[in-house]
Amino acid sequence: MSRVRVLFLCTGNSARSQMAEALLRHAAGDRFEAHSAGIEPKGVHALTLEVLREAGIDTSSLRSKHLREYQGRVTFDCLITVCGHADQNCPAWTGVSQRLHWPFDDPAAAQGTLEQRLAVFRRIRDEIAARIKAWVGRQEQDAPETPAKT
């Protein structure tokens, strides 16, 4: 059985889409192939890496990527935008069977002390994790049953 290929897209590919990629890979990497990209990539935010590591998530493969790295080269079963700017500015993508928009606050825009900013990154991480868990559960319920081999 092939894995469902998913692309998470945001503006900077520094926080939300990186978290979503890592969290989906961690939660269901055997059933889903997770990727992320940005329309204007800015590099992976240090606090993104910190809050993912706190949750026991491997961050070694995360890097900020431009949408062009995938466009016309890779087909995806599902494209999920995680910010309004990406949702409005993502070019048409042929071959995507499902396009979703999951808006999350931008933790990279958080102000205040380090602890206050970390709290925002943790909240967004947890919101994304909950959304992924629910979505994966629905995907698995909707998957066609495969007859058992005898």
Residue 147: its pLDDT value, please?
43
Residues 58-69 have pLDDT tens digits of 999 999 999 999
- Of 72, 68, 83, the closest CA to residue 17 belongs to 83
Residue 1: its pLDDT value, please?
59
Residues acting as catalytic residues: 10, 83, 90
Q: What is the CATH number of the domain that holds 127?
A: 3.40.50.2300
Residues 76-87 have pLDDT tens digits of 999 999 998 888
Query: Would you say residue 31 lies in a domain?
Result: yes
Query: Would you say residue 118 lies in a domain?
Result: yes
Query: Would you say residue 147 lies in a domain?
Result: no
Determine whether 5 is exposed, middle or buried from the number of CB atoms within 10 Å of its CB (0-12, 13-18, 19+). middle
Is the pLDDT reported for residue 146 higher than 60? no
Domain that holds residue 49: 4-139
Residue 149: its pLDDT value, please?
42
Query: Would you say residue 150 lies in a domain?
Result: no
Query: How many folded domains does the chain comprise?
Result: 1
Share of the chain above pLDDT 90, in %: 71
